[in-house]
Structure 1
Amino acid sequence: EAQVPFFSLSGSDFVEMFVGVGASRVRDLFKQAREKAPCIIFIDEIDAIGRARGKNVMMSNDERENTLNQLLVEMDGFGTDLGIIILAATNRPDVLDSALLRPGRFDRQITIDRPDLVGREAIFKVHLTPIKTSQKLDIHKLAEQTPGFAGADIANVCNEAALIAARKNKEAVDMSDFQDAIDRVIGGLEKKNKIISPEEKEIIAYHEAGHAICGWFLEHAYPLLKVTIVPRGTAALGYAQYTPKEQYLYNTDQLTDQICMTLGGRASEDIFFGKISTGASNDLQQITKIAYSMVTVYGMNDKVGNISFYDPAQENYFTKPYSEETGKMIDNEVRILIDNAYEKTKALLREKRNEVEILAKELLVKEVLFKSDVEALIGKRPFEEKKILDIEPE
């Protein structure tokens, strides 16, 4: 578009084992650019050479720092020339050196987030243009069912849906094909040849029913979309899928309900079988992460107080920014938080024991239950779901 020479490089192109090579390549690049000026230089994954200097506890990489220093000089030193525009991209802006981001260097920063509901709907419309789809296809519903999906994920879903419809010799791609495609992108391929014993299948059914019931009867949990005990991918033996709200702020009650909902599977196994399995390992990782964030990042604990030990670059892996005594207190408060949530979850599932059994038995028969099926079995969710306002893009 600009009708000028375009130099495209990766940050790792400057990194070598030989001393001085990185800085030399930066000088050569800018020498070529001055000869071809006006021109544009684009450096992808700039965090490979642009990391903050002098913060690495395992001895700083002098060669990388020399490369960065040379880049800083070329961009805004005494001998710089006009006519060269420098662009760069990274998905780790938090680890970049502050000198790289000051005015005169990369002074204009554009953040590209994952698309929201309106954005996903617009992206679906673009990727569905070459595909023959059913007239009953609800694009808005597809956007609702793909929270957190980037543009590439949506393109992948559309491609998978078209392939699934083609295998079935359909005239057009319909909603069921998109459901299968979303499942495949989220959970991986369906493992039809995986042999699961009846006892294991029953445990999985009660585990997933526990998640579903907690999500159904906890006010701040995400609304259930579907629950399945069909094994997918390398590890998932079943999963419950929800429709997270487009939300940017969370309070203590909401995060606690998220922990309870995630613990629903483990609590259900404990109540109905009197023993627990390894099936909840991923759930435990999630709740541990949430609980530690509540205590150490968001200041949501009375004992630790309004203190945040947020470390986005994870530079304090070996040296924590708090004392050993504070570390013990944090561990203890996290354990108390999770234990209280677990007791709350078990109390809810004991109260709704009948509903858990109804869902688990139906899952063993049908293997997949959608929101409408759950409503038919145990009634509507007692909490009104807040609808997201549709805002037309300008």
Structure 2
Amino acid sequence: FIDEIDAVGMSRGGVMGGGQMAGGMMGGGMMNGALTRLLYEMDGISEQTRMDKLKATINRLLGKEPPKRDWHVLFMGSTNRPDVLDPALLRPGRFDQVIKVDRPDRVGRKAIIQGYLSKINHDKSIDVDVIVADTPRATPAQVMSAITKDSVRRALFASRNYVVQDDIDQAIQEQLVGMANPIEDMDPVLLRQVAYHEAGHALIQHYVMPDQRISRVSIVRRSSGTLGYMLPVDTVEMYGQPLRRIVSRIMVALAGHIAVKVFMGEFWTGATGDYNMARQEFRNLAVHGYFGPPVSELFRDVKELQFSDERVERIWISLEDQVEKLLIDHADEVEALVDRLLERRDLSNREVVEVLGKNSLQLAEEQGIQMESVLEQIGTNMEGLEYKRRQTKVSPSKDSKE
């Protein structure tokens, strides 16, 4: 087994980016030699060694049948940079089977979390399912660090010899957005602006993406540099989605900046990341045919993106108008959420729901409504043939089949 096989198996043609150019210039010859030797040894593994040949000769002189090999060699390697591996390394007969190890799904995360919890002292009332729900895109390394390191550190700082639920919840936040690095003397107006920004994200998220759950809303600066954040998590594992869901994500991204304008009277800085995300999501829509014929501008680098195509501009402005209307219609909820943020600085899902109320998905679950999928909560397109047939309960006729 060869871990980090890209260290010796890097493409001999050179790789641009990721700091690989320096390696190619300074140590390329050495690495090429190591790769050549590795390939030679792999191809020659079935050949007889000198000792094997000597034993075979002795057996023949003694009139015996040369012993057959009763062993096999299995080569395995791992890397997180499969794109830099030399093609010769992956041809049939060498590392010819590539297995992609994705981030764990819900079942996998639950097993990983339970495994790491068994290694530390913890409160028996810890809800594993809540931890699983809050880590939909977490890697095993992030889960391990959050449970066995960060949560333990928080418990020790609190003079406890066991971990509680809040320790793990906060540790997960540290893994996702960085450690808390609060500004103790932030100007009240600046702090209120951050609160309006995050409250805007939260309110639009609550109403246009009920299939997700708001894990946390915070106006505490983090070590990553962000002054605040709203963290949504999927309630089910997503492997595909309707394009309308991408449109909803764009609305959420735009909401913070627009909320500041609506409630404070003018735009402020702080929305660069949100608008870059919105541009990237527009590009995703273009790639998936949302705008019809290709929109050439969207295939440029995000940093160079210029929305000169009138179709994109029209939809962008329309989404901004929809976001602004929702914020005005729910102004009382925005103000209440801002007040709670200024008071507490950091709100959990339960505290957010106390202010905003339950969304359509939570109400449906409470009422016991049977749903095939949570995606039903973002609407069912009535133009779809499947929907029409389900409503009319008409089977396709013989003529339609023909």
The bucket for the TM-score relative to the shorter chain is 0.7 to 0.9
Structure 1 residues 128-167: aligned runs within 5 Å: 128-158=117-147, 159-167=149-157
Distance 1:222 1:52 in 2: 45
- Which segment is superposed worse, 136-145 or 175-184? 175-184
Structure 1 residue 251: Cα displacement: 1.6
Are 1:204 and 1:229, in contact at CA under 8 Å, matched by a contact in 2?
yes
Structure 1 residue 74: Cα displacement: 2.1
Q: Give the counterpart letter for 1:364 in structure 2.
A: L
Q: CA RMSD in A?
A: 3.7
State whether structure 2 residue 276 is matched by structure 1 residue 285.
yes
Instruction: Provide closer, same or farther for how the CA distance between residues 257 and 46 of structure 1 changes in structure 2, counting only shifts above 3 A.
Output: same
Q: Give the counterpart letter for 1:284 in structure 2.
A: Y
Instruction: Provide closer, same or farther for how the CA distance between residues 131 and 303 of structure 1 changes in structure 2, counting only shifts above 3 A.
Output: same
Number of matched residues?
333
Q: Give the counterpart letter for 2:206 in structure 1.
A: W
Structure 1 residues 31-42: aligned runs within 5 Å: 42=2
Structure 1 residue 218: Cα displacement: 0.4
Structure 1 residues 1-394: aligned runs within 5 Å: 42=2, 44-46=4-6, 49-51=9-11, 53=13, 70=36, 74=40, 81=47, 85-158=74-147, 159-219=149-209, 222-244=212-234, 245-296=236-287, 298-304=288-294, 334-383=312-361, 384=364
Distance 2:193 2:174 in 1: 23
Structure 1 residue 328: Cα displacement: 7.8
Are 1:215 and 1:221, in contact at CA under 8 Å, matched by a contact in 2?
no
Instruction: Provide closer, same or farther for how the CA distance between residues 329 and 235 of structure 1 changes in structure 2, counting only shifts above 3 A.
Output: closer
TM-score by length of 1: 0.72
Structure 1 residue 335: Cα displacement: 4.7
Are 2:11 and 2:87, in contact at CA under 8 Å, matched by a contact in 1?
no
- Which segment is superposed worse, 150-159 or 65-74? 65-74
Distance 1:72 1:330 in 2: 52
Report which of the two has the higher share of helix.
2
Distance 1:168 1:193 in 2: 22
Are 1:194 and 1:231, in contact at CA under 8 Å, matched by a contact in 2?
no
Structure 1 residue 185: Cα displacement: 1.9
Are 2:257 and 2:271, in contact at CA under 8 Å, matched by a contact in 1?
yes
Structure 1 residue 303: Cα displacement: 2.4
Q: Percent identity?
A: 26
Q: Give the counterpart letter for 1:271 in structure 2.
A: V
Q: Give the counterpart letter for 1:267 in structure 2.
A: I
Partner secondary structure for residue 243 of structure 1:
strand
Structure 1 residue 70: Cα displacement: 3.2
Structure 1 residue 371: Cα displacement: 2.3
Structure 1 residue 119: Cα displacement: 1.1
Instruction: Provide closer, same or farther for how the CA distance between residues 76 and 163 of structure 1 changes in structure 2, counting only shifts above 3 A.
Output: closer
Distance 1:226 1:69 in 2: 48
Question: Which blocks of at least 5 consecutive residues in structure 2 are unaligned?
Answer: 49-71, 366-370, 375-402
- Which segment is superposed worse, 145-154 or 203-212? 145-154
